[in-house]
Structure 1
Amino acid sequence: MSDSGRPSSPRPAIERHDIFRTLVETISDYAIFLLDTDGTITSWNRGAQRIKGYEASEIIGSHFSRFYPEDAISRGWPQKELELARRHGRVEDEGWRVRKDGTRFWANVVITALHNEAGEIIGFAKITRDITDQMQDAAKLRESEETFRLLVLNVKDYAIFMLDPRGNVVSWNAGAAQIKGYRSSEIVGRHFSTFYLPEDVAAGKPERLIQRAREQGSVQDEGWRIRKDGSLFWASVTLTAIYDEHRQLRGFAKVTRDMSERKRLEEVEASARRMKEFLATLAHELRNPLAPMYSATSIMERAPDDLSLVKANLGIVGRQLRHLTRLVDDLLDVGRIAAGKLELRRSVIPIREVIAAAIEGSMPAIEARSQRIEVQLDDSDFQVFGDLTRLAQVLQNLLINASKFSPESTTITLRCSLNGRIGQLTIADQGCGIAAENLSEVFNLFVQGGQPGQTSSSGLGIGLSLCRSIIELHEGSISAASQGIGLGSTFSIRLPIITEPRTSMAPLLRRPQEGLNILLVDDNRDAADSMGLLLQMTGHSVKVAYDGVTALRSVEDFTPDVALIDLAMPDMDGFELVRELRDYAHLHHTRYYALTGFGDPGIKEDTARAGFDGHLVKPVDIDAMTEILQETKHRPAPR
């Protein structure tokens, strides 16, 4: 209201326009100016003068291409920017620009088309920001990250790789390939539980480790892991949760070291500490059969004509000799293994031959106790590469142990099953069981269930240790389980099976003889970066762009064999980008693939009509991607 009480009249539009123009002209952090429809400069603010070095009187009336380097002018990039802005309403770009004094700066540029009320283009607004410092900082960061990435990729003593939040492998270094046996193209995208024993997976161990790492930040673990070829190694693992600056979980860093040799050394040291106990047991076990043998021979000497008495005592001598022979054989085998001289006569063996030989050898002891063996084969008929005699020796030992520690007239169950590339033999009894605190010790050398010298049936404590050593020489594993004292025991043998003819392993991380030039365009930076890294690790040269304009600029000096293009991108979507790229004459051999989360038939028809050679649905199957790239390498598509 005015002082007279009458309503104030609205401020004239011309005055508001003057205020806005004054505001724009006084801004010094941004170069803001207008172009006519041909790109001629028609206005100039204080920020443009500060950033570019020209007074308004020096530059108004000049073409805006004056700010571009010679190479950009020679390829017509300034005019291309105007065409893109005219077609799409706006265009955003980054690149080198030239000041009045000839120095260069890195600019972020936005050009917006201006329309009149009739919808006709009357010119362009251009906003330029000098981001040289940010660009240089980002370049240094990228260089540092690239140096670190190359360092990690080439480390061979440690398996270092990343998991996504769900536990799927997203990166793979040389150490991981060497230790675990997988090439990156074979394992990226698969869940890390692939490396765990079937019983660990069934018990949910991988998921528990991820949960603990998420809750505690980092978790360490040791245990048996499986290589690609089915062999086992003892792994020391650190799993660390990775968060971004907003405390959002990005995934997990996993570092694994093969500690098999250290594990074996620790077990040897533990065995040495038990040597005194073993020597006491050895003396007892050797005297046990000698005493009845001495008594029996004395009786036969005193009554050589009593045939029934001689026959009974000859039986005693025979049984004790067999027991003594077994003790000596076990000792000799342990000595050979310790010296690395136990030879395996390997061949391809059907697992049923191992089972048949073990049952034949153990049946006299089992039948003597009125026990029976129930065999469950589950239609498993796999083959292993190993020594039939030694594998049968292990299984026979386990069956005789099950009989020895079980009541008479009970049943011993022998089950054979197959889990992926691992064959498993399980022996379960109804016997005395194993205390929980002893489960981890039963396979150690010279360990027995009772005290030293407790009974003659306790043995030397080397049978199970010998079994484990033989199985590990076959690149397998053996474990024991029990619900507790009096509740029986279960022993499980796991062996890698033969799925194809055995040949020498190919060099790890073998790269294609000729990689492809690949342009990868995706506004999801994480998806683009991880896919780009995977393609680089498989031997290809990759340029990554996060928007359509950057993709167009990148092909000025880069000719891709394959372009992988996301469809849903801001400003310029994948359909528009592929049409723009097809205008470049030097890209007539390039094959284009839509890379999108949309997979319905209608979208696939749209991409085909737009000129894409194929349609890949996220998440991309790595094997399918490899086949497509191989096809492209051998049969490029001429245009």
Structure 2
Amino acid sequence: MMTRHTTAPVSADADASQRPPASGTVDPQDSLYRTLVQEVEDCAIFMLGLDGRVRTWNAGAQRIKGYAAADIIGQHFSRFYTPEALARGWPDYELRQALATGRFEDEGWRVRKDGTLFWANVVINLLRDPAGKPIGFAKLTRDLTLRRQEDERLRQSEERFRLLVESVKDYAIFMLDPDGRVASWNSGAIEIKGYQPHEIIGQHFSAFYRPEDNASGKPARELELATRFGRVEDEGWRVRKDGSMFWANVVITAVHDSGGTLRGFAKVTRDLSERKRLEELERSSQHVSEFLATLAHELRNPLAPLRNAVGVMQLEPTLSPTLSSCRDMIDRQTVQLSRLVDDLLDMGRITTGKIDLRVGPVNMFEVVAQSVEAVRPLADQRQQVIDIHLPPEPVIVEGDFVRLVQVLQNLLNNASKFSPAGGRIAIEVVGEARAIVLRVIDQGRGISAGALDSVFTLFAQEDRLLDPTHNGLGIGLTLCRSLVELHGGVITAESAGRGKGCTFSVRLPRARQRAGNGHASGARPAVTVSAGTLRVLVIDDNRDSADSLAMLIGMKGHEARAAYDGASGLAIARDFVPHLVLIDLAMPDVDGFGVLHGLRAQPSLDRTMTAAMTGFGQNQDRERSFSEGFDAHLVKPVDMALLDDLLISAKHRRISGDAKRSPS
């Protein structure tokens, strides 16, 4: 039961505003005051007697609480309270507090006439007569339901945001106070930095920096910059709780209140150690690629005179059987070493994404023929037979002829190397509706089941230590897989086990359309050129390379001269007037490009063909040679077939020039 109060009588000397006017008189001020209070609609303003019963009722009270004056005047104000508030005697408590202190304020749920609830701000002021005796209470009630709802939405939003921040594990998100001390700590911060909240909250954030960074004042400088510009971002090494370091991206944002006062800093840290590691690997890969290109250049320089010398001996008809055998052995090993250098360079290009395919229609019959021709010396040395099984109709794919030959040649070399002497190797080409399958089948050492998945891994070789005689660089099959995948194909290995041979299958998509009669783009056209002697000048600071190549060209029936530096080469060219000049690009005094420009400046050499010679054979090297004006780009050691093609081209140009100069 609510305690009921008896209204105290109003004393005769009470404030005029607190009592009705005398009969027959109207106080203008009192009337104006009553009208003002009565018309207020945004606030319920009414009076209670000391017993808590309603004595007056304004328009705002009717709008907010739903009662008309006739319905509520004389009723106890406790009917505006919820059952829970009534149960704990809250209305009586409010009046007691107002009576004791003169004023009471509260916020809570109140009840309208229709039973609905609203969130109210309530102020109860004690009223006294002029003598100071309590005579009742003035009660002001405001409906703050909308503000309450907005506050609740904001609270829920903040709670959701807090839960979101707390659940993020990939980012360390925490607050700093204005002095740089940690004020909050999420699960991502625990994960990345290693501190539990109780270990780090209240500590200065400089704990995350290296001693040298703290010595240079970096933490304080970052807060100063964030304060001045609103935000600062940095990447660098940071320190975990255990002392280990990680590469971090850090964003510090200054946080101000609505008055512009700095309240602290929001700090977001990401662990980018993995990205940093990949960047380092990429840089290392680039350095390795550059090193391999230089290494290949240095290896090709001594290979060039060896290959030229072999070419000379091949043209010498009077060699004894012993010398002929030694010549062929040197030729095979030079070819093998050149192939290893090429594979090493190609692997470097593939790993750095710098290999390009020159795609066109390719006849797989021609790929097989050229690959077998290249591996024939190794197979003959081991008395191995290569069986070729081809379909009756040509099989055309879209690809890079040279690269596809490289793939098949690698597979055949592999098969020969791991097959016994006197064994058989089979090549099969099978045409399907949308693809072709090329198989290389051997009867050799085979591959264990556990190693089938790893044979295409870079630098991996099964039993590398058990059989040193068969060791290599371990890049051939990796290179094959990469080149096949660049063609949109797939390569697989199958074996019944050790000692039971192996089958490598290459599946490539067919060409969308057949071109011409189906001949490969890589096949060389037959060329018939009338006899004639060419004047050929070789300019190379490597004397062995220059002399051996000049000797080889001379034995092919041409007049050849050698020069060992750019200046001498230009001097000889003025008098010799060569039809073809082979120029080494890397010479100490004047490089090959400078020599080329010197040659082009001589009118008598306007029809002379020029070819760059270098140990660098990447696409950008070739492109630069052609853009500078060279007619050809030869990679050392110069391939004999390419040299023959170049001599034929020079002869064509000479014949064409002679025809233009002859009288009509």
TM over 0.5: no
Rg larger in 1 or in 2? 2
Classify the TM-score, shorter chain.
Answer: 0.3 to 0.5
